Protein backbone atom coordinates (compact mmCIF):
# COMPACT_ATOMS: atom_id res chain seq x y z
CA UNK A 1 0.00 0.00 0.00
CA UNK A 2 1.35 3.43 -0.91
CA UNK A 3 1.12 6.36 1.44
CA UNK A 4 -0.95 8.39 -1.03
CA UNK A 5 -3.79 5.85 -0.76
CA UNK A 6 -3.61 5.45 3.00
CA UNK A 7 -6.73 6.53 4.88
CA UNK A 8 -6.59 6.16 8.65
CA UNK A 9 -9.38 4.13 10.23
CA UNK A 10 -9.99 6.74 12.92
CA UNK A 11 -9.23 10.18 11.52
CA UNK A 12 -7.87 12.59 14.07
CA UNK A 13 -10.43 15.19 15.04
CA UNK A 14 -8.82 18.56 15.50
CA UNK A 15 -10.86 21.01 17.52
CA UNK A 16 -11.28 24.36 15.84
CA UNK A 17 -12.30 27.32 17.99
CA UNK A 18 -13.52 29.25 14.97
CA UNK A 19 -15.84 26.37 14.11
CA UNK A 20 -17.20 26.44 17.66
CA UNK A 21 -17.83 30.19 17.45
CA UNK A 22 -19.58 29.84 14.10
CA UNK A 23 -21.77 27.10 15.54
CA UNK A 24 -22.81 29.31 18.48
CA UNK A 25 -23.53 32.25 16.17
CA UNK A 26 -25.07 30.19 13.40
CA UNK A 27 -28.40 31.05 11.95
CA UNK A 28 -29.65 33.87 9.82
CA UNK A 29 -30.86 36.05 12.68
CA UNK A 30 -28.28 35.64 15.47
CA UNK A 31 -26.18 38.65 14.48
CA UNK A 32 -29.22 40.93 14.25
CA UNK A 33 -30.51 39.78 17.64
CA UNK A 34 -27.07 40.43 19.14
CA UNK A 35 -26.94 43.86 17.50
CA UNK A 36 -30.19 44.78 19.24
CA UNK A 37 -29.19 43.34 22.59
CA UNK A 38 -25.88 45.22 22.56
CA UNK A 39 -28.11 48.29 23.09
CA UNK A 40 -29.66 46.77 26.22
CA UNK A 41 -32.40 44.48 27.50
CA UNK A 42 -35.29 43.91 25.09
CA UNK A 43 -38.63 42.15 25.17
CA UNK A 44 -39.70 39.71 22.46
CA UNK A 45 -42.02 42.23 20.79
CA UNK A 46 -39.30 44.88 20.75
CA UNK A 47 -36.92 42.47 19.04
CA UNK A 48 -39.59 41.65 16.47
CA UNK A 49 -40.15 45.33 15.71
CA UNK A 50 -36.41 45.97 15.41
CA UNK A 51 -35.98 43.01 13.04
CA UNK A 52 -39.22 43.11 11.00
CA UNK A 53 -38.20 40.39 8.53
CA UNK A 54 -37.86 37.69 11.22
CA UNK A 55 -40.84 35.44 11.87
CA UNK A 56 -41.89 34.78 15.47
CA UNK A 57 -40.89 31.13 15.06
CA UNK A 58 -37.42 31.99 13.74
CA UNK A 59 -36.90 34.60 16.46
CA UNK A 60 -37.93 32.12 19.16
CA UNK A 61 -35.56 29.50 17.74
CA UNK A 62 -32.68 31.99 17.58
CA UNK A 63 -33.28 33.20 21.14
CA UNK A 64 -33.40 29.63 22.45
CA UNK A 65 -30.18 28.71 20.64
CA UNK A 66 -28.36 31.75 22.03
CA UNK A 67 -29.71 31.05 25.52
CA UNK A 68 -28.62 27.39 25.37
CA UNK A 69 -25.12 28.57 24.46
CA UNK A 70 -24.94 31.06 27.32
CA UNK A 71 -24.96 34.15 25.11
CA UNK A 72 -28.15 35.62 26.50
CA UNK A 73 -30.45 35.09 29.43
CA UNK A 74 -34.20 35.05 29.49
CA UNK A 75 -36.11 36.50 32.43
CA UNK A 76 -39.83 35.78 32.78
CA UNK A 77 -41.95 38.08 34.95
CA UNK A 78 -45.13 36.76 36.56
CA UNK A 79 -47.57 39.06 34.79
CA UNK A 80 -50.64 38.37 32.68
CA UNK A 81 -49.70 37.92 29.91
CA UNK A 82 -46.18 36.91 30.90
CA UNK A 83 -43.48 39.50 30.30
CA UNK A 84 -40.23 38.05 28.97
CA UNK A 85 -37.02 40.03 28.69
CA UNK A 86 -33.76 39.08 27.05
CA UNK A 87 -30.34 40.43 27.91
CA UNK A 88 -26.79 39.49 27.10
CA UNK A 89 -24.68 37.56 29.56
CA UNK A 90 -21.04 38.58 30.10
CA UNK A 91 -20.20 35.90 27.51
CA UNK A 92 -22.54 37.60 25.05
CA UNK A 93 -21.24 41.09 25.85
CA UNK A 94 -17.75 39.80 25.14
CA UNK A 95 -18.76 39.34 21.48
CA UNK A 96 -19.27 43.08 20.98
CA UNK A 97 -15.69 43.89 19.93
CA UNK A 98 -15.49 40.87 17.66
CA UNK A 99 -18.72 41.69 15.85
CA UNK A 100 -17.72 45.34 15.58
CA UNK A 101 -14.47 44.25 13.92
CA UNK A 102 -16.49 42.10 11.49
CA UNK A 103 -18.70 45.10 10.72
CA UNK A 104 -15.64 47.23 9.91
CA UNK A 105 -14.21 44.47 7.73
CA UNK A 106 -17.50 44.19 5.81
CA UNK A 107 -17.68 47.96 5.32
CA UNK A 108 -14.17 47.94 3.88
CA UNK A 109 -14.34 44.86 1.68
CA UNK A 110 -17.94 44.26 0.62
Question: Other C-beta atoms within 10 Å of 72: how many?
Answer: 24
- Quote the pLDDT of residue 27: 87
Answer yes or no: is 97 within a domain. yes
What's this model's pTM, rounded to 2 decimal places? 0.82
Q: What is the pLDDT of residues 67-94, one digit of tens each?
A: 999 999 999 999 999 999 999 999 999 9
CA-to-CA separations, 49 to 35, 83, 93, 106, in angstroms, rounded: 13, 16, 22, 25
**CATH for 101:** 1.10.10.10
The predicted pLDDT at position 18 comes to: 87
CA 69 to chain centre: 8
- Alpha carbons 35 and 32: distance in angstroms, whole number: 5
Q: Which residues pair with 87 in a beta bridge?
A: 73
Domain that holds residue 71: 18-109
Amino acid sequence: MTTSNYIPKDPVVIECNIEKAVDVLSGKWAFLVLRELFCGTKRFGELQRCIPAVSPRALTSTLRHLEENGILERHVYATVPATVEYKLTPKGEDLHQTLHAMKLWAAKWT
